[in-house]
A and B are shown apart, each in its own frame.
Chain A
């Protein structure tokens, strides 16, 4: 865990350097599209509603000065699959965004949606012997968390303290300066596949960019599309992406669970492609123009030209009714939502005080999806759009950009992670000296 701490700290330093330069790029590497936003920071400024332990990584006001989207290549299930292709796609997006911003960006904060995220709840406790809780105590209690064996092929993406408890008082946001005997903390740790992370890292590196931060796409979508009371009272954000569907559960403004289903809008498209025997591009077009999940009587009469260029008149003049299209799409969407339901159940979502579910992401634009989701996930379902961010072009305000927008918020106002706190004090020689002195006092 030590080298992870160092590498994440290095990334934080990179982020600080980017803040100093005032320009940082946001890269949302998705399965269907790659979005790049260029942010300009106008100097650090405190957010008014900064609860909890204040942000240690620094917070800032920002403005989007460049935005570009390109069709994603070489990404499957939210993971880099063909590195050359992905690199080209990243280059395209970054170049266009740089051109719009007319500024060179060197630092990139990226998010990834796949890589099989898995959540862990950790607990740590230390004795503070009736003293006041200091910064180093918080670092210590986080280091004292017993980390499960998550496997050597996994990497920690997020490790956020979500709760502090001092003796029997729980639910503290900031225990610093308070007196107690025993400090305990709950930490949420998210691990992902190391290989996927490394591939992403190399892809960014090969574009002459420096990675200044990494985030889970499910997490940042939640930041951008959940409103404040939803984040406070408990809600789940379902980010229906192209290749994977991210699930993040928020409670008391902290992410307490994240997961991903390796299915998304691209699978719906491929179903259409297979069912109607059309190429993927046509299937995608048909899906976006005529797609839906709730069939009505009207849909039986609405015929869709499928088209084709085989030269066979019969084949090229095929039509299909919209009801048939819905009949192809609905089982897959249902399957995705069922899978999401399973994950939510596994996470114990039903125990939360509020069970709001917010659907966002590109695939959430299927007409009638909220009705279908209400049947599967529960009544409190709404479609979410990302928060409005200053300078964001109109084209990038749709639900497909909730990940990118969330990443801008994450870049400007990152939540405290374990590596933002100082190294556990046990390694300091001063501490051991103090201990020796105490031992002498106790024994003589």
Chain B
């Protein structure tokens, strides 16, 4: 009979896997099990370690501190530092304005510079039409400014303002004599129609130095003011054509050299001339004398 109690040492060697070894081998041949073992357990371990580490507030603070420190030290490397402001393409006044606007405490890391807002600030200056803000070479903060080109002077009461082609104020003047080359406009809302005014000034070129300026009337139409207090009242529609007619009349009849106070062109079909009081009186006297004779 076969020995029912297993002997310690068998005469014939029958290598047989134990039940658990056999099961282990079968598990290791199961793809999902192997995947779990190879991927799932390391991932789970890592997850456990990370969560235990981060569940401690001290550790979290330490990590964030270290990160912030590393960030600052990187940002404050000399390669990234900006030392001074350089303004290009600006007059001394504008440069002063720009420097006033760009309030940056140098030296500063270029990471901490908000170039967008600097650009907005500089561009919002009246005297500046365009601005380019960049961190240039030699660790300079470079502001390249395109100043507004004044094309006219707008008088508001006693204040003389410079206007550019877009009707934007680009500065103030002490006296008219500072910029005798610029035409003068006045009146409420004159700056809004600066383009029209500039065109009219161009048309009025033949009148030469007699032109004093344009006055906006009722934010609607222009009066061309000449010396000797002469006025040419232009219509709101097509003022250029009306001005041309006057210039032609002037060339033909020397209209404006006469004692005329106002040339009213507001109604194109019915141009009217108003004489000065003296002229009118003189005319009346002459006509009365004629009547008397």
Interface residues of A (CB under 8 A from B): 70-71, 73, 82, 88-89, 91-92, 94-95, 98-99, 102-104, 207-208, 281
Contact = CB atoms under 8 A, between A and B. Distances in A.
B2 interface: yes
Given A89-B16, A98-B26, A208-B22, 7 more contacts: A70-B14, A82-B2, A89-B14, A91-B17, A95-B22, A95-B25, A104-B26
Nearest to A82: B2
Nearest to B29: A104
B23 interface: yes
Given A82-B2, A104-B30, A92 B25 contact: no
Contact of A98 (B14, B16, B29): B29
A91 B26 CA distance: 11
Contacts of A71: 12, 14
Contacts of A89: 14, 16
A208 B23 CA distance: 8
A381 B35 CA distance: 55
B25 A99 contact: yes
Contacts of B30: 104
Contacts of A207: 22
A393 B26 CA distance: 23
B270 interface: no
Contact of A92 (B12, B17, B23): B17
B15 interface: yes
8 contacts: A88-B16, A94-B22, A102-B29, A104-B30, A208-B22, A208-B23, A208-B26, A281-B12
Interface in B1-52: 2, 12, 14-17, 19, 22-23, 25-26, 29-30
A298 B277 CA distance: 170
List 5 A-B pairs, minimum CB-CB distance, nearest first: A104-B29, A88-B16, A92-B16, A91-B22, A95-B17
Q: Interface residues of B toward A: which range?
A: 10 to 19
Nearest to A280: B12
Contacts of A92: 14-17
A94 B15 CA distance: 13
Nearest to B12: A281
B240 to A, nearest CB: 92
A243 to B, nearest CB: 15
Nearest to A209: B26
Contacts of B16: 88-89, 91-92
Contacts of A94: 22
Contacts of A99: 25
A208 B22 CA distance: 10
Contacts of A88: 14, 16
B28 to A, nearest CB: 9
Contacts of B29: 98, 102-104
A22 to B, nearest CB: 13
A73 B2 CA distance: 11
A73 B26 contact: no
A283 B228 CA distance: 150
Nearest to A74: B2
Given A92-B17, A104-B30, A98 B12 contact: no
A139 B26 CA distance: 40
A395 B14 CA distance: 20
B152 to A, nearest CB: 91
Contacts of B19: 91
A199 B113 CA distance: 85
B154 to A, nearest CB: 92
Contacts of A95: 17, 22, 25
Most buried by B among A73, A94, A95, A208: A95
A187 to B, nearest CB: 39
A377 B14 CA distance: 38
Contacts of B12: 71, 281
Most buried by A among B2, B22, B23: B22
A205 to B, nearest CB: 13
B244 to A, nearest CB: 97
